[in-house]
Amino acid sequence: QAQLVESGGGLVQVGGSLRLSCVVSGLSISMYSLSWFRQAPGKDRKDRDFVGGITFNGETTDYGFSVKGRFTISRDNDKNMVYLQMNNLKPEDTAVYYCAANKRRLEIAQAIGRYEYWGQGTQVTVSS
């Protein structure tokens, strides 16, 4: 049974930083591309926004327009982990953040339907 568990969320002030972690179990992490999505308050699951993604080998990354230059995704396959370093946080970054796994390991997809497995999410709140 595949399981993705996020951690590291919390309350932070504008301009601050947080590092999210996601531990993956029950699947061979090196066979999957991994991404982070976020769901803003009041939005539906289908409206989750793509934040960043990384291919199975870590060689390629991609980011949503609003976070480019501020967020960095990375992974450690030996530890079954994927990370999201978030810097210069803004109030509009407030959301529940989810990690997700895509069996098309070279694909960094922005559509939620391309992901087979999801975590339960971790709340990030940025206060002004």
pLDDT score for 16: 98
Predicted local distance difference test score (pLDDT) of residue 17:
98
The candidate with the shortest Cα–Cα distance to 35, out of 115, 92, 90, 122, is: 115
E strand or H helix that includes residue 36: strand 33-39
Instruction: Give per-residue pLDDT as tens, 32-90.
Output: 999 999 999 999 999 999 999 999 999 999 999 999 999 999 999 999 999 999 999 99
Side-chain half-sphere of 69: how many Cα atoms within 13 Å? 2
Task: Name 79's Cβ contacts closer than 8 Å, sequence gap at least 6.
Answer: 23
How do residues 101-126 score in pLDDT, each as one tens digit? 999 999 999 999 999 999 999 999 99
